[in-house]
Amino acid sequence: MTTFFHMTSRLTGVLLLSFVSLLFMKINGNAQESDIFPYQINQVTLENGLKIVSIPFPSPGIIAYYTVVRTGSRNEIEPGLSGFAHFFEHMMFRGTEKYSEEKFHQVLKEMGADNNAFTGNDVTGYHTLASSASLETIMDMESDRFMNLKYSVEDFKTEAGSILGEYNKNYSSPFMIMEEKLCDAAFEKHTYKHTTMGFIKDIMDMPNRYEYSLRFFDRWYRPENCVVVVVGDFDQTKLIELAKKYYLDWKAGNYALQVPEEPPQKEEKVVNMTWESKTLPMVAIGYHGAAFSATEIDMPTLDVISQLVFSETSPLYNKLVVDKQWVELLQGGEEDSRDPALFTIWARIKDIKNMDPVKNEIYSALEEIKNNPVSQEKLLMIKSFLKYSFAMSLDNADAVASTISHYAQLTGDPESVNKVYALYDKVTPDDIMSVAKKYFIKENRTVVNLVEEGSK
Amino acid sequence: MKTLKALLTIIFFSEIIMTNINCAKGPEVEVTELYQPGSPLIAFRVELKAGSVNDPSGKEGLDALTALTIGEGGTKELTYQQVLDKLYPWAASITPQADKEVTMFIGEVHIDHLEEYYKIFTDLLFNPRFDEADFTRNKDLLVSQLENTLRGTDDENLGKETLNVFMYENHPYSATEVGTVQGLKSITLDDVKNYYKQVYTRDNIKIGIAGGYPKSFIDRIKKDFDKLPSGILNEVKLPEPAQINNLEIMFVEKPARGTAISMGFPLSITRKDKDFYALMLVNSYLGEHRTFNGVLMNRLRGDRGLNYGDYSYIEHWVQEGGSTFQLPNTPRHQQYFSIWIRPVEPEKAHFAIRNALYELNRLVEKGLTEEQFESTRKYLINYSKLWVQTSSRRLGYQMDSEFYGTEFFIDKIEKELDVLKLADVNNVIKKYLNAANLKIAVICSDAMSLQEAMFNNAPSPIKYSSPVSQNILDEDKIIEIFPLQINKEKSRIVPVKELFEK
């Protein structure tokens, strides 16, 4: 196997050039003048449905290699099996006949690669940052485990222990447990009812679900449900040759997912919690929001509202954090998601007596934008922020791959990034008022209050 | 892609030692340049050569609070809110970061806004507003980080910070990086103003800049910073940390679903020492951060499913954001070895501690084989190249290299590892590592029971939810009675509310 051991001195000198990404300038190829994303996006779909997205990027000698499975906790439709997408992410490191778990890690080690994985509501992603010379080996190993994963019942059960450990690690923070309660209360039918970690009772039962894990793999780890994203220094022709060599034997699947539709919420829900350890009082307020869309204005408008009402330059932040100093932390927004998720507002409040006044200030700020159009000047500032923060984030191959993978998993089309940023530009003061009136209503919200045990 | 702003990141600091000023005029202000023509991103890293070690006794947290009041405050011309309003449309940032020996102001801006941004950045440093309301807000924030966040909602960092204060008792490193609760509460705005006057001098500041800035910018930076008053801080003497005899354990009692564990001991070497690089290789083999390469990860998590992860370190190590890489600009003249065992189920805590020490002991006794040595060397040389993917990070690493007085760290790693031999590596294992004398921080809900079991060296068999291989079961029989020599006089149970208090 070739590694970049011999290339290292060259790398040290030239990595600097990778930052010369000429933000806001178009770098050849098919990037359009109006696009926010400055690099050429190549897309090739293999006969089995696997999409290969590749982006040349000035990171000499380095590539970022992502495989995104368009499956996350949203796909966990059967009762008692929440958390399985995440669990399966762990199992993907347990080896195949060709690359045992030990050999898999040994090869990554020889490459000097950075390798990891993540799971969310809608996606499971596997990523490697390594030398360009490692490309073929990465494709060999990745295609192999996506087609030929093999693990014993014992390995499966042992891995369940590390999931419980991850749960325990996360749940020393009230944010996690509040989010769990918020989702559970806000959703009745949709699978966003559970977090990506899953319900603890289901995690405890995971060791008994070996058979289901085989079905899960068979159902979702299929080429038409995955996108490979390669960013950095590579040869496009060679990449596609290798993709055909290593991925064409992968058989397409045919499972059709039916995620239960969430009925409209009819009344406000409130959950009160206590925390055994020290904490400031906290509140999480979730409104059912909009699904990610590169064509409809609701979601981009909600993102603009997130900035307008909850960013550090908002009147609400100024009032609660800077002026009155009632609140230590304030933020609000909705994560991009395939189905409508929650627009969640978080506040950590210094004094328990201000919990209701803080919530009332938040509600008033949301009422304010329903009836008073935002100034063009403020709207331009927000659009400028969105544009610059996006552009400045694309400063290395891994960040670019991560960004493109995000949009590819949401819609299947990485060009969604340009489309959605074009939509941000179109958001008007009227859109803000109408979207605020549509979503920020009392009947559509769920509130989780958390206070320290014994506090008054 | 949008993400919610990361929930408050803790930056940490520590205590003691009076700050004395030498008013002799020093040489020109230092600038570290990383010029990248054509790059539209300009990164700034301004380093103050002072940290929590410069905090006066009783005012622990003064350095951190001063940095925060400046970096999260206003200028003479602009209120804090006006500063935020200015930076916002550019998506530009200015972030204070504090540690034991240096304090940073880190920023990034697109070249479109360099002029206006630089004016605000330098005004914050040269003409801070020191508004009473900004001071109060930031002080509340730091106190709350200790009283609430650390004590109540973040057991993993609680474990790490407990180990730090436990390892460095009666030492300038002995408080957290944001001080102590009582120290912070005693600080007034006048204290902050005085500290600023004494410490924020042209002699104590170093500027780092990276990106495609106009070349003439460097002269301007030098001229501007040269206008700061002179004043050299007297060096804070760092005594040898107290010797550790056997295992000294601090059990921190608090409600906890899992048991978080950190253990370690001070080291006498840093990046400036040749042996550091040999030990770096050993550490990578034992527990490279967030990878499956390490022995600890494979034995504790991989084989036994005890928890989510197990790693080791040979210097103070903070992860940068969601990456797997180290946060730059927390350099220290004294470093430490540590093992981080992420939360385990309480009934498996005793076994997990034994398992980690068993592996450490095996490493000390047996060293590395030629094959283990070669594969780890190759890995580290390649992997370290990934640590400096952005100009800001590279600049940070360069400034850290200057702190230690070495060539660029990433180049140094390759150079030192290239000439290493297996014997060198196995020598440093014997010289610097041991599994007998460590301090251990244990965050748990039933400290008394665990202490009793550990004091009595009671067997700690574990039950698996599924069959594991006979090899593992055989090894477990050894691990579950692996003797731990505990220094009972130096071990204690501490209620969490007493930690970081003063």
Model confidence pLDDT, tens digit, residues B90-109: 999 999 999 999 999 999 99
Please give the mean pLDDT across all residues of chain B: 93
Residue-range domains of chain B with CATH: 21-233 (3.30.830.10), 247-496 (3.30.830.10)
Report if residue A208 sits inside a domain: yes
Which of the four pLDDT bands, split at 50, 70 and 90, describes residue B66? very high
Contacts of B135 by beta carbon, 8 Å cutoff, 6+ apart = B65, B69, B73, B189, B192
Same domain? A192 vs A326? no
Q: Bigger pLDDT: A161 or A286? A: A286
Per-residue pLDDT band for B18 (boundaries 50, 70, 90) equals very low
Alpha-carbon torsion A149, A150, A151, A153, what sign?
positive
A307 and A205 in a single domain? The answer is no
In a domain, A398, yes or no: yes
- Residue A261 counted as domain residue: no
> Residue A172 is nearest to which of B141, B148, B155, comparing CB atoms?
B155
Residue A242 sits in the same domain as residue A356: no
Residues of B in contact with A156 (CB under 8 A): 466
Mean local confidence (pLDDT), A110-138? 96
What sign for the dihedral angle of Cα B192, B195, B201, B203? negative
Which residue in the set A112, A279, A395 is minimally distant from B382, CB to CB?
Answer: A112
Per-residue pLDDT, B61: 98
d(CA B13, CA A239): 48
- Can you tell me which residue has the tokens 């508004």? B131
Binned at pLDDT 50, 70 and 90, residue B9 comes out as: very low
* Residues A444 and A323 reside in one and the same domain: yes
Which residue among B89, B151, B305 sits closest to A162, beta carbon to beta carbon? B305
A415 and A291 co-located in one domain: yes
Does one domain contain both A372 and A444?
yes
Q: Any CB–CB contact under 8 A between B42 and chain A?
A: no
Size of interface A-B (CB pairs under 8 A): 260
User: Residues B167-180: pLDDT tens digits?
Assistant: 999 999 999 999 99
Q: B92 contacts in A (CB within 8 Å)?
A: 388
Instruction: Judge: B375–A106 Cβ closer than 8 Å, yes or no.
Output: yes
Residue A418 domain flag: yes
Q: What is the CATH number of the domain that holds A194?
A: 3.30.830.10
Q: In B168-265, which ranges are continuous DSSP H helix?
A: 181-186, 189-199, 217-226
B244 to A441, B66, B437: CA distances (angstroms):
61, 34, 6
What are A68's strand-pairing partners? Answer: A125, A227
* The pLDDT of residue B16: 23
Provide the pairing of β-strand A42-45 with B335-344.
unpaired
Distance from CA of A254 to the nearest CA of B (A): 30
A375 and A232 within one domain:
no
What's the CA gap between A348 and B242, in Å, rounded? Answer: 39
Q: Quick one: how far is CA A278 from the chain centroid?
A: 30
Q: How far apart are CA A355 and CA A281, in angstroms?
A: 7
Q: Which residues pair with B438 in a beta bridge?
A: B247
> Do the domain assignments include residue A253?
no
Q: Do A8 and B80 touch (CB under 8 A)?
A: no
pTM: 0.92
Do A235 and A310 reside in the same domain of the chain?
A: no
Q: Specify if A262 maps to a domain.
A: no
The answer to whether the beta carbons of residues A348 and A329 sit under 8 Å apart is yes
Contacts of B140 in chain A (CB under 8 A): 325, 328, 350
Chain A interface includes B394 (CB < 8 A):
yes
B155 contacts in chain A (CB < 8 Å):
169, 172
Residues of A with CB below 8 A from B141's CB? 328
* Inter-chain CB proximity A335 and B38 less than 8 Å: no
Name the residue among B293, B324, B390 with its Cβ closest to that of A395: B390
pLDDT of residue B465: 74
Task: Give chain A positions within 8 Å (CB) of B1.
Answer: 336, 390, 393, 402-403, 406-407, 417
Confidence at A15, pLDDT banded by 50, 70, 90 = very low
The answer on pLDDT for B10 being more than 50 is no
Which residues of chain B does A336 touch, with a Cβ-Cβ cutoff of 8 Å?
1-2
Banded pLDDT at A56 (limits 50, 70, 90)? very high
Q: Is B153 in contact with A172 (Cβ distance < 8 A)?
A: yes
Residue-wise pLDDT tens digits, B404-438: 999 999 999 999 999 999 999 999 999 999 999 99
- Residue A369's domain comprises 269-452
CB contact under 8 A, A110 and B383: no
Give domain status of residue A264, yes or no: no
Q: Are B311 and B156 in contact (CB under 8 A)?
A: no
Nearest C-alpha neighbor of B139 from the set B193, B65, B79: B65
Q: B359-386: per-residue pLDDT in tens?
A: 999 999 999 999 999 999 999 999 999 9
- How far apart are the CA of A220 and the nearest CA of chain B, in angstroms? 25
- Specify the number of domains making up chain A: 2
- Of B83, B92, B183, B90, nearest to B125 by C-alpha is B83
Higher pLDDT, A352 or B5: A352
CB-facing half-sphere around the CA of A303: CA atoms within 13 A = 28
In a domain, A258, yes or no: no
Out of A8, A162, A165, the one facing B385 most closely (by C-beta) is A8
Q: Show Cβ contacts of residue B204 under 8 Å, excluding neighbours closer than 6 positions.
A: B48, B49, B50, B231, B232, B233
Residues of B in contact with A200 (CB under 8 A): none
Query: Which residue in B396, B319, B326, B390 sits closest to B46, CA to CA?
Result: B396
Contact B84 A312 (CB under 8 A): yes
Residue A28 has pLDDT above 90, yes or no: no
Q: Cα-flanking dihedrals φ and ψ of residue B148, to 5°?
A: -110, -60
A84-108: pLDDT as tens digits: 999 999 999 999 999 999 999 999 9
> Phi and psi at residue A194, in whole multiples of 5°?
-110, 155
Q: Judge contact between A141 and A110, C-beta under 8 A.
A: no
Across the range B262-290, mean pLDDT stands at 98
**Cα(A212)–Cα(A222) distance, rounded to whole angstroms?**
16
| B110 contacts chain A (CB < 8 A) | yes
What pLDDT is attached to residue A9? 27
Say if residue A242 is in the same domain as residue A363: no
Over pLDDT 70: what percentage of chain B? 95
Q: Check whether B127 has a pLDDT greater than 60.
A: yes
> What are A287's two structure tokens?
């409104």
Q: Average pLDDT of A111-121?
A: 95
* Interatomic CA distance for residues B310 and B341, integer angstroms: 5
Clarify whether residues A302 and A369 are in a common domain: yes
Closest CA to B464 of B373, B370, B387, B351: B351
